[in-house]
Structure 1
Amino acid sequence: MILSWKARRRAAKNNNLVSAAGFADVEVMIPTHFRCPISLDLMKDPVTLSTGITYDRESIEKWIEEGNQTCPVTNQLLSSFDQIPNHSIRKMIQAWCVENSSSGIERIPTPRIPVTPYDVKETCKRVLAATQRGDQKKCQELVGKIKNWGKESDRNKRCVVDNGAGSVLSSCFESFARVSVEKHVDLLGEILSVLTWMFPLGEEGKSKLGSVRSLNCMVWLLKSGDLAARQNAVLVLKELLSNSDQKHVISSLVEIEGVVPALVDLIKKPICPVATKAALMTIFYMTSHPNNALKIISPFVEMGLVSLIVEILVDGEKGICEKALGVLDHICDSKEGREEAYGNALIVPVLIKKIFRVSVLASEFSASILWKLCKNEKREAEGSVAVEALQVGGFQKLLVLLQVGCGESTKEKVKELLKLFNVHRVRLNCGDSSMDLKHLKRSY
């Protein structure tokens, strides 16, 4: 059986017979044995299973990862999941592509052999041995090898992570950080660039990476490293702190001199959206620690974080705005944070604007911040936040938020806000006077 060649852009969408791209009057036929039995596309990396059937590697790996234990064509139970590269078929396909190059068909590249668990484990052993010897050059060579594996495919990344490379690299990082950050800065930066895609780490890896030595090194890179090192450092910190059992790591981090200015500087002078989000999330985790929250919030406020967050909220992308609101919610737990917020003329209009504009979580953060500002306002200024919120449509938005549904904690805060706003609403003639609380339709 012979089928038509499909233009690459349409191959994933349908199986209609089409002409080769750019050659409207020419149809090139693909021999059936060059097509994957699963995807029906031309095979780029043909591999053969224990049943003798050849598939494209990407298709059969997806089939196996979904939990299937049989050969898709024969339905036989697979005695082994090994995938043997079929070099003969691959060379025939490449030759066929060359023969039909005049019809716009490109030769498929020779695929790289995927990394195996054995390769990863052996390389990890060599990394540990080089670390014990203090051989920076060899470690950097091996880390570069692991990094290149990850660049080749997601499959390689999974294989590297599943075979313990994260813990090994964390140990290597901690060991060289203990000796000298300045002396080994290139190696340490390279390790962080690989660790960014190795989370979640095992217990040993988290312990090594969360040590005081490792944290000091990451903060040093945040302050003094190049742009890539700073970005990788904050990405690793964010992932490390995201684990709920890492309270001791947070406690150690907040004690390190310079961590606050370094994180704020990443927001003030952004490298890229990814780094900005990571910096905001790191601050969010740091300020959420029950034993250190109020202690760590003050330095962030002194560094002007409140005004920076308001600037972000004015025109920032949704993902960044959500995280910025989360940080601002924590900052408003402290007196210093609220005082700074009261002094910012844009904060109330921006908070009201962001309700329903970003995400459900962002709407809840906005309501929580408004509640904290109103609840803790000084008596002589009492009502000013509520009045300003009313003037920019806050009453109507909070009514809708209560009606469409929100978390229990947010629901209680919104009720309190509505009662407070209602005191000023009629007097200021803000909104429709017919919108009284007693007519509110509850969704609970």
Structure 2
Amino acid sequence: MVRDDLYITVPSFFRCPISLDVMKSPVSLCTGVTYDRSSIQRWLDNGNNTCPATMQVLDSKEIVPNRTLQRLIQIWSDSVRKGRVDSPESPPSVPSLHQVKDLIKDLSSQTENKSSLESLSKILCFARESEENRKSLGRMDGFIVTLVEFLGNAGEGTCRNYNHHFLEQVVMVLESVLSKVEEQEQLRDLFLKTDLDSLASILQVLQQGSTEAKIASARVLETIANDAESKLIIAEKENLLEELLKLISPENESSVIEAGLSCLIRISMPKRARSKLVQLGAIKSVAKLISDPNPSSTVSITEKSLKVMEMMSSGKEGRSQICDDVACIAAIVQKVLKVSSVATEHAVTILWSVCYLFRDQKAQDVVAKANGLTKILLLMQSNCSPSVRQMAADMLKIFRVNSKSCLSSYDTKTTHIMPF
């Protein structure tokens, strides 16, 4: 590795998990996860009592400065600054707001070339520097329109036929500022209801782009899918759902999987979209994540995987495929009490759907063999939500009727059951 390569990529553990910016004042929660002070403080001030990365309930909201990491970031930052002076190929310094305005003005009149690619790179650098910078970009007249038109023109295959490196930059800049755009409905209409095919460019980035660009593409789709019509337009775009399903392969990085799952959850709300996903093999893809024994799989990935599976279980075809996958049902049973309250609710809803609502005998047998009855009884004694307790009671009725064991003597109306 040559010396300059050391300064091209920001080490992932230097970035705040919330803002994705390099941390200026790293602090750690009781869970051991480190965040930038301003980001985590805002999260806690909004009334949250969980760790954003792990979703674990916090025993304490105390934040402790991570001095070691702060020193490492400072050493790295100093090295980067020195590298920029020593090497003309090192990344440029963050431009000022005035410089960015000039770049955007020039960008709107440029075709795809080296100059426009450099302009986008500088704008992206500016956006990633701070949340305030992203807000400024989101408020700039005509900036978002220019970005979407770049995607639309490329999708139409007009004379402005941009290569995928240029499109990657456009998508990453767009993703960085989308949440700061006040008129989300206008953004959706601009993206989906014009004569330009912006989705074709997103598809191209998903197919050919870097890992970072693929994550940005999934987040852009998630943001603009804010009503039933937009969700269906995205779902019915040829090959788009197939590419999103590729993101959730267990072999991918956790950040890629999470972005793909979040996007699929948003898009699959309409029944027609869920049906198409089932036909494309979404059940098998998500089942691999739920059954994955890899301990590095995050709580968030498990929760989102179960959420997608829950949505698929709401239709007959989806429930049927779930019931045919014995290993998947057994894995869902194992997630009932081991992950989080959110995961518990999704897992119980799936089991309730296939065992109680769909009355699938094969699924009931798998749940029984996987020690599901004990988990249901323990769940009813726990501090779970009323809806989860009711679903557990419904399932217990099914197993009480079918079981020849002592379970048949228990009254399922009892709220505290001691079977042993």
Query: TM-score by structure 2 length?
Result: 0.66
User: 5 Å matches for 1:29-108?
Assistant: none
Closer/same/farther in 2, CA of residues 407 and 121 from structure 1, 3 Å limit: farther
- 2:136 paired residue number: 163
- What whole-Å deviation, never above 9, does each CA across 1:299-346 have from its counterpart, x for those lacking one? 322332212222211225132121111011111111111111111121
User: 5 Å matches for 1:302-381?
Assistant: 302-314=279-291, 315-316=293-294, 317=297, 318-377=299-358
Determine helix, strand or coil for the equivalent of 2:123. Answer: helix
Closer/same/farther in 2, CA of residues 387 and 107 from structure 1, 3 Å limit: closer
* Aligned-partner Cα distance in 2 for 1:282–1:150: 22
1:256: Cα distance to partner?
A: 0.8
* Aligned-partner Cα distance in 1 for 2:309–2:235: 18
Partner amino acid, structure 1, of 2:198: S
Residue 393 of structure 2 contacts residue 412 of structure 2 at CA under 8 Å; is this kept in 1?
no
- 2:393 paired residue number: 415
Q: Does 1:195 align with 2:179?
A: no
Unpaired segments of 5 or more residues in structure 1?
1-38, 40-57, 66-104
- 1:233 paired residue number: 217
Residue of structure 2 aligned with 1:147, choices 124, 134, 159: 124
Closer/same/farther in 2, CA of residues 235 and 149 from structure 1, 3 Å limit: same
* Aligned-partner Cα distance in 2 for 1:106–1:352: 46
Determine helix, strand or coil for the equivalent of 2:252. Answer: coil
- 2:7 paired residue number: none
* Aligned-partner Cα distance in 1 for 2:136–2:301: 34
Determine helix, strand or coil for the equivalent of 1:148. Answer: helix
Residue 148 of structure 2 contacts residue 190 of structure 2 at CA under 8 Å; is this kept in 1?
yes
Partner amino acid, structure 2, of 1:297: R
1:216: Cα distance to partner?
A: 2.9
Residue 188 of structure 2 contacts residue 230 of structure 2 at CA under 8 Å; is this kept in 1?
no
Look at both structures and tell me which one has the larger radius of gyration over its CA atoms.
1
* Aligned-partner Cα distance in 1 for 2:178–2:370: 43
- Provide the aligned C-alpha RMSD in A: 3.6
- 1:175 paired residue number: 149
Residue 173 of structure 1 contacts residue 188 of structure 1 at CA under 8 Å; is this kept in 2?
no
Closer/same/farther in 2, CA of residues 201 and 247 from structure 1, 3 Å limit: farther
* Aligned-partner Cα distance in 2 for 1:210–1:402: 46
Aligned residues: 325
* Aligned-partner Cα distance in 2 for 1:374–1:161: 48
Partner amino acid, structure 2, of 1:275: V
Residue of structure 1 aligned with 2:201, choices 197, 214, 217: 217
Partner amino acid, structure 1, of 2:300: G
* Aligned-partner Cα distance in 2 for 1:268–1:251: 23
Residue 364 of structure 1 contacts residue 410 of structure 1 at CA under 8 Å; is this kept in 2?
yes
Closer/same/farther in 2, CA of residues 362 and 106 from structure 1, 3 Å limit: closer
Residue 196 of structure 1 contacts residue 232 of structure 1 at CA under 8 Å; is this kept in 2?
yes
Closer/same/farther in 2, CA of residues 174 and 256 from structure 1, 3 Å limit: same
Structure 1 runs, 4 residues or longer, greater than 6 Å off = 105-116, 431-434
1:198: Cα distance to partner?
A: 2.9
* Aligned-partner Cα distance in 1 for 2:402–2:254: 40
Determine helix, strand or coil for the equivalent of 1:180. Answer: helix
Higher relative contact order (CA closer than 8 Å, sequence separation 6+) = 2
Residue 266 of structure 1 contacts residue 279 of structure 1 at CA under 8 Å; is this kept in 2?
yes
* Aligned-partner Cα distance in 2 for 1:371–1:218: 37
Determine helix, strand or coil for the equivalent of 1:352. Answer: helix
Residue 165 of structure 2 contacts residue 209 of structure 2 at CA under 8 Å; is this kept in 1?
no
1:128: Cα distance to partner?
A: 4.1
Determine helix, strand or coil for the equivalent of 1:262. Answer: helix
1:108: Cα distance to partner?
A: 6.3
1:132: Cα distance to partner?
A: 3.8
* Aligned-partner Cα distance in 1 for 2:275–2:139: 35
- What whole-Å deviation, never above 9, does each CA across 1:159-212 have from its counterpart, x for those lacking one? 311213476553222112222247223222112223343341311555544556
* Aligned-partner Cα distance in 2 for 1:349–1:387: 10
Query: TM-score by structure 1 length?
Result: 0.63
* Aligned-partner Cα distance in 1 for 2:231–2:237: 10
